[in-house]
Structure 1
Amino acid sequence: MSTTTETVGDLLREWRRRRRYSQLELAGEAGVSTRHLSFVESGRAGASRDMLVRLSEQLDMPLRARNRLLLAGGFAPAYGERSLDEPAMGEARAVLDAVLAGHAPFPALAVDAHWNLVAANDAVMALLDGVSPVLLAPPVNVLRLSLHPQGLAPRIDNLAEWRHHLLERLCMQTESSGDARLAALHAELAALPFRAGTKPPVPVNPVAVPLRLRAAGTVLSLLSTTTVFGTATDVTLAEITLECFYPADADTRAYFLRGAANAG
């Protein structure tokens, strides 16, 4: 049984092409010799740890990919990967929990690099009535939850528009990261049963794509914002994204405020 081992050259070529750098451009930006970079990619020469760090920074590689590059070069990973439950992640977890709680009474959640749910506030959980228990079994993938016929899809009024938005976002993320799991997720979601219209989806909001979700006899209109830990040096933390949803109209705002008042 044969196995393949990633090489520094393979990884550098992959990421250089993904970022649309020529060898000349990358060498110039990273401050290394074009000839030496060529030799490293071809396997004719090795690269120092410092050189690999500079190249990975210039290529804007995710922290997980930077660790892979260093391991391929025979060096120890530069970035840790801790569970959010570890004591060292206590302050980061506190920030995450504070954002989710502070966004109440409006929905907010956190996902990992593959869109699996990390945490959510009560407003999110209240919107999941009627969702198949199968989709709520950990790990909960929020994109699958949104687009699956047994998930939220039947209750999304602008499903064509929302589906297009999510799949386009996932496609861009896949191309940027080269993550095979994201590519597989995109293929799975794109193949889910969906009654397509004869015309392209018509925007229901002139400035942003809302999520229009039917709940309790009304249609909620929500706009989302995305937040990441911009200075993370831990792989787990760097891959977490927070999605906070805001009311896009007065009726939606009143719905959540009324719910919070009744709960209180």
Structure 2
Amino acid sequence: MDLAQPSRVGPLLRKWRQRRRLSQLDLANRADTSARHLSYMENGRARPSRAMLLRLSAALDVPLRERNTLLLAADYAPAYRESSLDDSYMASIRSALETMLTAHEPYPAVVVDRLWNVLLGNRAMGILMDGIPPHLLEPQPNVFRLALHPDGLAGRLANLGEVRELFLERLSRQVNATGDAELQALHEEVSRYPALDDVHDNSSRHQPSPIQVPLRIRTPFGELAMFSTMATFGAPADVTLSELAIELFYPLDDFTANALRVMPLDGG
């Protein structure tokens, strides 16, 4: 790397440090270096070693995808492989995911990528996907489009206003934490969806719940109330794996639990 040329990695390091609201001294202490050396790296006066970049990335909790971007900006090879879930290399991971999804039936469960695109789902997801038009399912269903688009679940949510506020806040936090341009574009898109009339929003009339904003979905079987938990893989060494999340839905009340046990798994 020619230090006479403007540094590409320095501004990226500074951007991540500022996104994490750390001073140069704070980050230097976390990464076991000096504030002066960090300043030189950010200003392009010193070239960070590959090991230093990885140490700084870890201290800043930079996603693996963006750690590769930092390395490339400093003319180093990426450190993390990015695989398709269909690759033989990922066969054990896909098998584990499919086992988890099937074991969770009759409750819905889904695997999503960093952009909340649905990669895998169990049969019980048909309860949520029933009646969703093709244009929201192709080329891939997206959780935020499915939930907030007027042609999606929005028309069936009994507490749409609460869900919309929660989802947009969640997505905004992700954008701020990652700086991901594609997530930002998704946030801008779903924020523009027209808000449906809240004539059916009767969230204020529901009994208090330990979950602040459950999903309350009107179905021919009655109103179902569900909450979800998210699971991720520990210590991932692959970009794709680091970005996978499993969302598991659970019934919030006895009526929903009983209904899910007797409803057809395909939602029909």
The alignment's TM-score, normalised by the length of structure 1, stands at 0.92
- What secondary structure sits across from 1:118 in the alignment? strand
Matched residues in 2 for 1:167 and 1:173: separation? 10
Task: Confirm or deny that 1:206 pairs with 2:189.
Answer: no
Matched residues in 1 for 2:19 and 2:110: separation? 30
Which of 228, 234, 243 is the equivalent residue of 2:232? 228
Q: Which runs of 5+ in 1 are unaligned?
A: none
> Shift in Å at residue 26 of structure 1?
0.4
Matched residues in 2 for 1:260 and 1:68: separation? 46
User: Which residue of 1 is the match for residue 244 of structure 2?
Assistant: 240
Query: Is this contact kept in 2: 1:127–1:215, CA < 8 A?
Result: no
Task: Confirm or deny that 1:256 pairs with 2:260.
Answer: yes
Instruction: Output one character per residue of 1:143-193: Cα deviation in whole Å (capped at 9) or x when no partner.
Output: 101110111100000000111111111011110011111111111111111
CA root-mean-square deviation: 2.2
- What secondary structure sits across from 2:263 in the alignment? helix
Task: Check 1:103–1:180 CA distance in 2 against 1; reply closer, same or farther (3 A cut).
Answer: same
> Shift in Å at residue 195 of structure 1?
3.7
Identity %: 47
Aligned length: 258
> Shift in Å at residue 206 of structure 1?
3.4
**Where do 1:46-61 residues align within 5 Å?**
46-61=47-62
Task: Check 1:258–1:61 CA distance in 2 against 1; reply closer, same or farther (3 A cut).
Answer: same
User: Which residue of 2 is the match for residue 35 of structure 1?
Assistant: 36
Task: Check 1:203–1:16 CA distance in 2 against 1; reply closer, same or farther (3 A cut).
Answer: farther
Task: Check 1:39–1:104 CA distance in 2 against 1; reply closer, same or farther (3 A cut).
Answer: same
- What secondary structure sits across from 1:221 in the alignment? strand
- What secondary structure sits across from 2:61 in the alignment? coil
Query: Is this contact kept in 2: 1:161–1:203, CA < 8 A?
Result: no
Where do 4+ consecutive residues of structure 1 move more than 4 Å? 196-199, 201-205, 260-263
Query: Is this contact kept in 2: 1:211–1:221, CA < 8 A?
Result: yes
- What secondary structure sits across from 1:75 in the alignment? coil
User: Which residue of 2 is the match for residue 170 of structure 1?
Assistant: 171
- Bigger mean CA deviation after superposition, 233-242 or 129-138: 129-138
> Shift in Å at residue 74 of structure 1?
1.1
Q: Which runs of 5+ in 2 are unaligned?
A: 1-5
User: Which residue of 1 is the match for residue 190 of structure 2?
Assistant: 189
**Where do 1:14-33 residues align within 5 Å?**
14-33=15-34
Matched residues in 2 for 1:173 and 1:261: separation? 32
Instruction: Output one character per residue of 1:183-221: Cα deviation in whole Å (capped at 9) or x when no partner.
Output: 11111111111046699x759543212100111241100
Task: Check 1:237–1:164 CA distance in 2 against 1; reply closer, same or farther (3 A cut).
Answer: same
Instruction: Output one character per residue of 1:228-262: Cα deviation in whole Å (capped at 9) or x when no partner.
Output: 11221100011011110000000100011112699
Query: Is this contact kept in 1: 2:125–2:266, CA < 8 A?
Result: no
User: Which residue of 2 is the match for residue 84 of structure 1?
Assistant: 85
The alignment's TM-score, normalised by the length of structure 2, stands at 0.91
Matched residues in 1 for 2:105 and 2:129: separation? 16
Task: Check 1:50–1:262 CA distance in 2 against 1; reply closer, same or farther (3 A cut).
Answer: closer
Instruction: Output one character per residue of 1:89-147: Cα deviation in whole Å (capped at 9) or x when no partner.
Output: 01111111111111000000011000111100011023322211111112211110111
Task: Check 1:140–1:37 CA distance in 2 against 1; reply closer, same or farther (3 A cut).
Answer: same
Matched residues in 2 for 1:202 and 1:25: separation? 45
User: Which residue of 2 is the match for residue 179 of structure 1?
Assistant: 180
**Where do 1:58-77 residues align within 5 Å?**
58-77=59-78
User: Which residue of 2 is the match for residue 124 of structure 1?
Assistant: 125
User: Which residue of 1 is the match for residue 3 of structure 2?
Assistant: none
Matched residues in 1 for 2:229 and 2:53: separation? 34
